[in-house]
Amino acid sequence: MSWGGLFLETEKPRTPGVQAKLHFLVSDGPIRADGVVQRAVPGSGMGLKFLSVSEKDRPQLAALINRLRRLSHSQAVRKEPLQNPFLDA
């Protein structure tokens, strides 16, 4: 996720060029945006580009992006790689 858009995991992605209304709830509050599918990866997901983000929802988006960056950074500096519990089954 970034200011430009996000990758949404889904087994049946939409066709590139299709527009979508995005509504999601995070701990900081709701985020509403208009987007367009830029890239589709069947069985994996799709890349969505934000066309517009509600002005009142931009602070929540900024907080989410900052939280994800901190999380990503903290995982990158760990000495041991994170284990995927689903791979050990």
pLDDT at 72: 78
Contact residues for 21 (Cβ-Cβ < 8 A; gap 6+): 32, 33, 34, 35
Q: What residue spans define the domains of the chain?
A: 5-76
* Per-residue model confidence as pLDDT tens digits over 17-43: 999 999 989 888 899 999 999 999 999
Helix (H) or strand (E) holding 40: strand 29-41
Place of tokens 């050990």: 88
What's the whole-model pTM score?
0.73
pLDDT at 86: 47
